[in-house]
Amino acid sequence: MVRITLKNDFHDTEVVLYVRDDKLTRGQIHKAWKTLCGVDSCRCSDDLGCRGEQEVHLRLSWNHETGLSVRVCEEQDKGTPAE
C-alpha cells in the first residue's frame, strides 16, 4: 500500500490516500474530489479535484459505464493512453 498526497493550490487543500495496486477506488475518488474542491460549479481543477504540481502522476480516464478511473503511474508513463 502506497501513501499519496493530492493537492489543490486554488483552494489550498490536500488529501492523503492509501493506494493499493496503483488504482484509486470509487470511494477514494469521491473523497479526493470532495476534500480538494467539492463545488459542482467550480472549474478550478480536473475531475479528481487536483490542481497544481502533484507528488505523483495520475492517469484519469472516463468510461460511460464505470465512470472515472484513476491510476497512479510512473512519470514516463504519464502521457500514454488509458487502458
When computed from its CA atoms, the radius of gyration of the chain, rounded to whole angstroms, is 12
pLDDT of the residue at 27: 92
Query: Do the domain assignments include residue 26?
Result: yes
Query: Do the domain assignments include residue 73?
Result: no
CA atoms within 13 A on the CB side of 18: 1
User: If you average pLDDT over residues 39-62, what whole number do you get?
Assistant: 91
By residue range, what is the domain housing residue 34?
A: 2-55
- What's the number of domains the chain is made of? 1
> Three cell numbers at 77?
508513463
User: If you average pLDDT over residues 60-68, what whole number do you get?
Assistant: 82
Query: Do the domain assignments include residue 80?
Result: no
Query: Do the domain assignments include residue 51?
Result: yes
Output the pTM of the full model: 0.79
